[in-house]
């Protein structure tokens, strides 16, 4: 009896030791807003398991998930797209969290002096015939926020015909980094991630809707990774990359 008991104890111990490994080895697929790439790539290296990160504009992600794309966790840069997924019955409102904040900036190729971008004619003059890069103003959150600011500042009428609207904010960032566009409107976190650009104007946060990143798990694996994003390690990475970690809500 003693030998059998010892064997059972040994088997239970082995199972308990192996359980976390099996859980960590379960693949996790995260669909995330393009602006999160630098930070999430760093954070994923500390995740004890297999994680696949797929980045795109939030509108594109929402439509992909609505068409049954295999995501375990969805992180969008505009809560309205998450509400749309909730209305489709795809994500649970009770499991949705606002995890991060951000701010808007105007950027130029590295070394450019600051400009008074809120003054009429300044952006147009600085463009000098070029285009102002940002996300698509009807679907990409960065573009939606950029348009909101331009409208609030009274600059939309003079600039609406001079935009280079990209499929996501990182594409808009690349236009300026490659000097294909003289100016761009992106998130502060994007400017930090790209040494080939300089911030020439910080957009006042009261001149556009609050920038919030909404996250929602679709599986238990996604929920585990979302919990990991709220750890001190992950929050410090987000902060170092220009995001504002929010208390879980």
Cβ proximity of 183 and 108 under 8 Å: yes
- Is domain 104-202 classified as CATH 3.30.1490.20? no
Q: How far is CA 185 from CA 19, 67, 145, in A?
A: 47, 30, 9
Where in the sequence of the chain do the CATH 3.40.190.10 domains occur?
A: 27-100+212-245, 104-202
Taking the model in full, what pTM does it have? 0.82
Q: How far apart are CA 113 and CA 99, in angstroms?
A: 33
Kindly give, in sequence order, each residue whose CB lies less than 8 Å from that of residue 149, ignoring residues fewer than 6 positions away.
Answer: 104, 185, 203, 207, 208
Domain 27-100+212-245 has CATH 3.40.190.10: yes
Q: Are 248 and 228 in contact (CB under 8 A)?
A: no
Two tokens, residue 208:
């556009």
Would you write out the chain's pLDDT as a tens digit for each of its 249 residues? 443 334 333 333 433 333 333 345 689 999 999 999 999 999 999 998 999 999 999 999 999 999 999 999 999 999 999 999 999 999 999 999 999 999 999 999 999 999 999 999 999 999 999 999 999 999 999 999 999 999 999 999 999 999 999 999 999 999 999 999 999 999 999 999 999 999 999 999 999 999 999 999 999 999 999 999 999 999 999 999 999 999 865
Locate 222 and state its tokens: 């996604």
């Amino acid at each position: 009896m003693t030998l059998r008991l010892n064997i059972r104890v040994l088997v239970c111990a082995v199972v308990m030791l192996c359980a976390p490994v099996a859980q960590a080895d379960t693949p996790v697929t995260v669909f995330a807003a393009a602006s999160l790439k630098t930070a999430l790539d760093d954070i994923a290296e500390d995740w004890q398991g297999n994680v696949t990160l797929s980045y795109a504009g939030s509108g594109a992600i929402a439509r992909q998930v609505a068409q049954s794309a295999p995501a375990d966790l969805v992180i969008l840069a505009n809560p309205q797209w998450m509400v749309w997924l909730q209305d489709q019955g795809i994500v649970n409102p009770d499991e949705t969290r606002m995890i991060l904040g951000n701010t808007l900036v105007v950027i130029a190729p590295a070394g450019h002096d600051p400009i008074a971008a809120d003054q009429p004619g300044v952006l147009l003059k600085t463009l000098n015939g070029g285009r102002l890069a940002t996300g698509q103003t009807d679907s990409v959150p960065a573009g939606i926020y950029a348009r909101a600011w331009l409208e609030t500042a009274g600059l939309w009428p003079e600039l609406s015909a001079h935009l280079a609207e990209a499929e996501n904010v990182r594409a808009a960032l690349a236009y300026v980094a490659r000097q294909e566009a003289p100016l761009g409107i992106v998130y502060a976190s994007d400017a930090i991630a790209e040494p080939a650009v300089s911030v020439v104007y910080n957009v006042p946060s009261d001149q556009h809707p609050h920038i919030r990143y909404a996250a929602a798990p679709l599986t238990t694996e996604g929920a585990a990774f979302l919990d990991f994003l709220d750890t001190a390690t992950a929050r410090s990475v987000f902060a170092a990359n220009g995001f504002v970690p929010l208390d879980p809500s």
